[in-house]
Structure 1
Amino acid sequence: MDIFGAGLPALLSQLLIGLVNGSFYAILSLGLAVIFGLLNVINFAHGALFMLGAVLSWIAMSRWGLGYWPMLLLAPLVVGLFGMLIERLLLRRIYQLDHLYGLLLTLGLALLIEGGFRSVYGASGLPYDPPEALMGATDLGFMVLPNYRAWVVVASLAVCLATWYVIEKTPLGALLRAGTENPRLVEAFGINVPLMITLTYGFGVALAAFAGVLAAPVYQVSPLMGQNLIIVVFAVVVIGGMGSILGSILTGLGLGVIEGLTKVFYPEASSTVVFVIMAIVLLVRPAGLFGKDS
C-alpha cells in the first residue's frame, strides 16, 4: 500500500479510530490494575460492571429522562456503591486465599449480572445517542472525526492521568499502597484499612462504569457488551504488568493504535494482534513491560 498516496488518509483514520479504542482499553485496564495492584484480586466482573454503567445510562434515559451528563456522574457512583457492597459481603472473605478463588468468584458474579440483564432486555443492542453538545463532526482533511469520539479520548486521558497522579504522587496514594502491603502497621496509626480497601474497590469498578457511559453512544448498549472487550483488556493488563497503573494506561493506548494500524496493513490479524504481542511479551518479560520482577 502506498501510504503517501491514497493510503495515507486510511492510515491516519485508523490511527484515530485505534486511539478511541485504546482509550477504552486504557480506562478499563486502569480499573483492573487499581484493583489488582492494591487489593490483589483478579476482577473478572469488570466487563459486567462496564456493561452495567452503559445499561444504567440507557435505563435512566428511556425511563426517567436523565440525559448523558448526569449519568456520567451518577452511573459510576451507583456502580461504585454496588462494588463496595460486593467487596464487603464477598471479596473480603477470600483475600487470604489463592488468586483462583477471586477469579472464580468474580467470574460467577459477571455471569449472574449479565444473565440477569439479558433475561430482561435480551441480547440485541439498544441505541443510545450522544449528547446534543457533542453531535456533529470535524473535518480534519483526511477524515471526518465525530466530535463525540474526540471527547472520549480527552475524557479518558484526563481520568487516567488524574488516577495515576493520585495513586503514585500523593500522600493518599502512598497510604493506599502502604495499607495493602502492611495493613497492621497502617492501622496502628489510626487508619481504617478495611474501609480504605472497600473504597478502593468501589473506585476501581466506578472507572469501569465511567467507561461504560462513555461507550454507550459508540457501541450499542447490550448486556453482553462487556464480553467483547474484557478479554482484550486483560491482555492489556498482562502486557503492561499486573498492577502497574502507568503500564495499563500506556499499553492500552498503544495497543489500540497498533490494532488500528493492523486493520490497514493486515486486516485478518487485527483481532489477534494483541494476543500475539502478549505471548511475545510473556516470553521475553513475564512480569510485563512495566511490571516489577518478583
Structure 2
Amino acid sequence: MTMIFGIPLQAFLGQLLVGLINGSFYAMLSLGLAIIFGMLRVINFAHGAQYMLGAFVGYLLLTNLGIGYWPALILAPLIVGISGMIVERLFLSRLYDLDHLYGLLFTFGLALVIEGTFRYYYGVSGQAYTPPPALTGAVNLGFMFLPVYRGWAVLASLVICLGTWLAIEKTKLGSYLRAATENPTLVQAFGVNVPLLLTLTYGIGAGLAGLAGIMAAPVYQVSPLMGSNLIIIVFAVVVVGGMGSILGAIVTGYMLGLAEGLTKVFYPEASNIVIFVIMAIVLLVRPAGLFGKDA
C-alpha cells in the first residue's frame, strides 16, 4: 500500500478532497462577503442565513413544486438575490451614513429572524436533498473513487469564483462598482445610478450565498443551522484574505479548506481550530490580511 508521511495514500487524498470541497464553499461565501464589504462597507452577518436560504429554496422547490436541481440552481440564487435587494433598498440603504456597527447589528438581527423562522417550521434536524441522476455515483481514478457531485461542486465553484472576479475587475460594470465605492458623488455626476449599483451589489453578494447554499445542499443536509455553523469560519477566511479583497477571498477560501483537510490527516483534534490559528498568525504578521491593502 502506498504511503505518504506514514498515512495511506487513499486516506490522504480523501481528506484533501474533503478540504477542497469545504474550501469551494468557503471561497464562494467569502467572495460574496468580500463584494458586499468592499463595495458597501457593510459587514453582512446575514450571509450565513442567505446561504441557508438558498439551500432551503432549492429543497422547497423540489418538494413542493417538483422543480429539479438544474432549474433550482438558477432560481434559488435569483430568489435569494432579489430578497437581498429588497432588504438593501428598504433597510440597509438608510444605514450607509452611520457607523458600520449599525449595519452589522441590523444584518445580525436579520440572520436571527431568518434562522428562527426556519427553525420554527422545520426544527433543527437536517433534510436530505438528492443530487440529479447525472451527478450521482463515483469515478474510479485508480488511487481513489471521486464522487461525481463533489467533483462537480469543486469545478463549478472555481468557474463561478473566477468569473465573478473577472466581471468585477475587467468589465465596465465592475469599474462602475469600484468607482462608486471610492467617489459616489463623482460617479453619479457622470449619469450613473449609484443607489441602483449598490442595490445590485448587495443582491449579487446575497445571490452568491444562495448559490453556494443550493450547491452545498446535496453534500450537507439542509438545516436551519447550516449557515450559523459556517459564518464564523467564513469571516475568518475574509479576514485572512483581506477585508474587501475579491481575489483574497477566493484564494484564501481554497487555501484554508485544504489546510483544514490536511490537519484532519495529521492532527485531527486541531482541525476545528486550525483556520483561527492561521488567522491569528496572519493578523500578527500582516494586519491587513494576505491580499489587503495597508492603511
- TM-score in terms of structure 1 length: 0.98
Aligned residue for 2:139, secondary structure, equals: strand
Task: Indicate if the aligned counterparts of 1:46 and 1:208 stay in contact, CA closer than 8 A.
Answer: yes
Q: Distance in 2 between matches of 1:142 and 1:270?
A: 24
Q: Deviations over 1:90-147 (max 9, x none)?
A: 1011111111111111000000000001101111000111111101101122221110
Alignment-derived partner of residue 186 in structure 1 = 187
Matched, 1:157 2:158: yes
Which residue is 2:256 aligned to?
255
Distance in 1 between the 2:264 and 2:5 partners? 17
Distance 2:3 2:155 in 1: 31
* Identity over aligned pairs, percent: 69
Do residues 142 (structure 1) and 143 (structure 2) align?
yes
8 Å CA contact 1:13, 1:142 repeated in 2? no
Task: State the one-letter code of the partner of 1:15.
Answer: L
Unpaired segments ≥5 residues, structure 2: none
Q: In terms of mean alpha carbon deviation, does 212-221 or 133-142 score higher?
A: 133-142
**Correspondence for 1:234:** 235
Q: Which residues in structure 2 correspond to 1:21-170 (within 5 Å)?
A: 21-170=22-171
| Residues 32-67 of structure 1: per-residue CA shift (max 9 Å, x gap) | 000000110000000000000000111111111000
Instruction: Give the C-alpha shift of residue 10 in structure 1.
Output: 1.3
* Partner Cα separation in structure 1 for residue 154 and residue 134 of structure 2: 16
Structure 2: how far apart are the matches of 1:94 and 1:4? 53
State the 1:2 CA deviation: 5.0
State the AA in 1 paired with 2:244.
G
Question: Following the alignment from structure 1 to structure 2, what is the Cα–Cα distance between the partners of residues 2 and 128?
Answer: 36
Aligned to 1:172: 173
Q: How far apart are the structure 1 equivalents of 2:267 and 2:3? A: 14
- Find the aligned partners of 1:31 and 1:213 in 2 and give their Cα distance: 15
Distance 1:160 1:83 in 2: 20
Say yes or no: does 1:286 pair with 2:255. Answer: no
- The C-alpha deviation readout for 1:122-174, integer Å capped at 9, x for no partner, is 11000111111101101122221110000000111101000000111222211
Q: Given the two structures, how large is their TM-score scaled by the length of structure 2?
A: 0.98
State the aligned residue count: 294
Amino acid at match of 2:103: G
Unpaired segments of 5 or more residues in structure 1?
Answer: none
- 2:274 pairs with 1:273: yes
Dislocated runs of 4+, deviation >3 Å: none
Q: Which residue of 2 aligns with 1:224?
A: 225
In 2, distance between residues paired with 1:5 and 1:140?
A: 22
Q: Which deviations, in whole Å up to 9, do the C-alpha atoms of 1:217-257 show, x marking residues without a partner?
A: 00000111101111100000000000000000000000000
